Structure 1
Amino acid sequence: MSETFSDDLIASLPVLRRFALSLCKRGDLADDLVQITAERAFKSRDSYDPATRLDAWLFRILRNAWIDMTRRQKTQGSQIDVVDNPELISIDGRDVVESKISLNQTEEALTNLPDDQRAVLLLVCVEGLSYAEAADTLDVPKGTIMSRLARGRVALAKQLGIKS
């Protein structure tokens, strides 16, 4: 199955790229989506049922990757390329020190959280996993992820003296 699967996946790349372009309208993002799709497909090729159409399975993987990517972009905020705007590059020593202090306080507060809340906060907020991905990773229901995340955020804010 491995050689056939690989050959079929390679043959599907142009179709996947067209579908990715139709979703994101940018060549660089489409290439990223196709790469993510290929990686995920290879990783989970044992779960692929040869009785079904490979392209449909790959399209679903690509669509889910697109959804994940757009969700992450919404939470990241706007991004500015400093190469195009070199005047934006500046270092304020005071901000750097305050940021490091804040980061150290946050890391310390994280270590005081229960393991289950800390794991969810790190997976969702730091690693950028979706609730479903975190649920799969921790082998718990998605609702459990959402409640642990909510409790963890409240506990973390309380430890850091942030009013919520």
Structure 2
Amino acid sequence: MALLPRLRAFARSLARSRDAADDLVQATCERALRASDSFAPGTRLDAWLFRIMRNRWIDLHRAARPQLSLDDPDLGPALELEAPPGDDPELRLRLAEVRDVMGRLPEAQRSVLVLVCVQGLSYREAADVLEVPVGTIMSRLARARSAVGAALGAEQLQKKEVGHG
């Protein structure tokens, strides 16, 4: 139960729709319960569940073509990042900007960024979840961080120019 918010956040980064993310979390939990004997004690339960979710999403993604358009107004933010307690409007605005930029990343980069930076998995654990080499995780993460930094820097520059223009 304690992992459900984290599973939902990862599902939202994959599915980009609240309903689809909820369905993905449910499918993941069902599959995990059916395959509980395959969980290796002493390993990370979260990484195991993220891998099940990723595999289920791939199965659903392949079966459900075409995908939703990114211009769909019902999609909402792709990530559910939460601000720390307190009511700092500037922090909430900045977090919304980060969430928007992350939502525009390619799925492969967004997944790595969520698993490593939001969910706290190691590079090895993220590689296992996504079934790619650690080097791929490192390069995708570097590209994702660079894209987020560039986008946020460009947005800040644009705001300053509008303010001075």
TM-score by length of 2: 0.43
Is the helix fraction higher in 1 or 2?
1
Relative contact order higher in (CA < 8 Å, ≥ 6 apart): 2
Report which of the two structures shows the higher radius of gyration computed on alpha carbons.
Answer: 1
TM-score by length of 1: 0.43
